[in-house]
Structure 1
Amino acid sequence: MKTINIASGLMIIASALFFASCDNDRGDNPKLDTDNLPTSFVLNVPAYAANNTYDLANSTGINFTCSQPDYGGEPLAVNYSVQISLDKAFTKYTQLGTTYTTANINVSGTEINNAVVKLYQNANSGADPSGVVQTLYVRLRAILANYSKADCLSNTIELPKVVATYLAELPTSIYLTGPCIQDGTTFKKMAPAFGTEGKFFTMIYAPAGGTFKWSRDGNEKLGYNDATSVVDNANSGAKASADGSIQIANAGWYVIYMNASLDVQKNMLITNLNIDPGEAYVIGNACGGAWTQGDPNWKMVAPTNASGKWISPAFTAKDEMRAYILVPGLDWWRTEFTLYKGDLYWRAVDIPTNWATNVGKDYSVSCGIGQKLYVDFDNNKGEVK
């Protein structure tokens, strides 16, 4: 029999945390029988579920209980995740972000509600599920701490009547996808503007007639009319294509800037998608101490196609590289980037001194006099040489 030793401290923590049978606790290290790992465990149906209608948005939560998977009677540390689906076969499902360490679980009504809304919208072309009575299927995933191969799923239970309500919330990410985005199938993640909420940006190349859609989760595909507004500040000729995508008439490089906000009174997410001229710059001590945003002397030269490299003017001093994409209405330091292992790394912390001091030497790029910055914005890669 193969065994894995689990630290004795884990047993102490587990015995305090888990709602499980611990009559046979021992003082020695518990051992996991890896030849007889559990393949399932029991999730109980909540009391009165058959006759109850769960109003998720107005509920404090739902309580679920389960038996701990049978690890040979050992009180091992288990993390539980909640998975939900609108179909019994779990063809499409989502795993909630919150995890639990006991077999008595109180799940936030708001977290379930928002997940159900997204599942419904993804299955129904973005339709609003508010007020629709649905059947919700729930199962748990058990993850054994320090041994991922012991993951297993519970049985599936049914909550016959749940009602979800669309609650407007700021997106935590925005993606672009479509024929003119990278390989045509990738969801390209937009960079968040440092120190803001709901603001995201990226640089893309669109050929004449090129199309793309946007997404909040890297799964849904939203088009021109799904945004509250599409503002063309770059004479791109943007319009809705036949399939609802955002279509660009005039070939070129463009900054795509999503400025999202909430209308609390109307419970509405406002999504203003801006198409701005594609511009990028270097700045700072390596540029002879030039710190003016949008200085034309330090503007990078754009290539003529998606696969080409943007090229900066030659640096005039031996110092740290500082660079940014120009997004109208945002300070340069909110859209700054550096290079980390050849990839563009977007600023996510305050930098009162420099990248080396405030973020780390691995995130600081030294420039020599006469060297230039080369950037592939389509794939977010770069180098100084």
Structure 2
Amino acid sequence: MMKTIKQISALCMIGLLVLCLGSCDDDSELFAITAPNAPALADVAIKKIELDAVNTNNPAVSLNWTESDYGQQTAVNYAVQFSMDEAFSAPVTATSVTGRTSISLSIGEINSAAGNAGLNPFEWAPLYTRVVASLGTQQSESITSNTIQFEVYPFFNYVFNDYYLVGDATAPGWNNNNNNPPLFRDENNPSVFYYTGKFAENGHFKVLQTKGLWQPQWGTDDGATVGNNPGGGSDPERFPYGGGDGIPEGFYTFTINFSSNTFTFEPFNASGVSSPASLSVEGSSVASSQSLTPLTFDGHIWHVNNVRLTPGEVNFKTGAGASWGGPTSFSGVATENGGSIPVLVEDDYDIWFNDLTGRYILIPLNL
């Protein structure tokens, strides 16, 4: 009898659970919204803003807009966008807020937005802004405000990182401030760097971000992936093997990808490549021709330090009169009769050139 009661009770509980679930489904309501009204972005009082590179945290502009009504009590997302043209052909989202209808942007934030939108530094130009309202994490049911415009005078925003070699396989040895040769940044992918040159017998090396400082530093513990000590942590082992015996003396190409934390280290055939007798930097960006010096350790790596460049262009000229250049500023691959290297902003630069690969890098010292 007791067993039968237990069975009936269990069946009743299952039945009640099914009934409850069915009732919940019957009583569910869909989240319905009405066609939203666009936020109205108020004009700004100041129509010309000269951006100061010294006080980048100071407020530059305050934006205010009306709330967008979706017919429900829900938090609305607002993305603040900028563009160099009124059509917003390539909009840049400077920031996003939820449930707010005003924001203050700093000088640094406006300068970054202007640079990302394509405005040139040190020139007055119009900057267009708008607000895009939406719902949820997928930015659903988006609707765009009116557009307002003001003029800005941006300063230059150097967005690249630079990296240097150190180690007993390289020219500076284990001295972190000994004219350490830089890695050459890829002209299309700022996370990828190369160094093709001579490496010493039974040596190792690491990568530094700042000459004179040991952190951040990069190495490898397993010979396949990149390890990093940004400071306060444990140092990774040395390239290329993560410790143990060093490499045979010779020419190699070291490639490192800071985005994927991977690297390669492969032999390079330098036979038959003759370095020019002399090399100089010339062009409209230099007041006078600047001679480059090859490294004593590796005569294929040339450099000249602390050269003042102004906006314009430069080329590498050999003593035989050949001209080498490329189309990309700051870093790239130069070829003979390859045009001129654009210089975008005035500053003091360290200039490096590799005659094995044609790679060059111009590193600003004050930006």
Q: Report the TM range for the smaller structure's normalisation.
A: 0.3 to 0.5
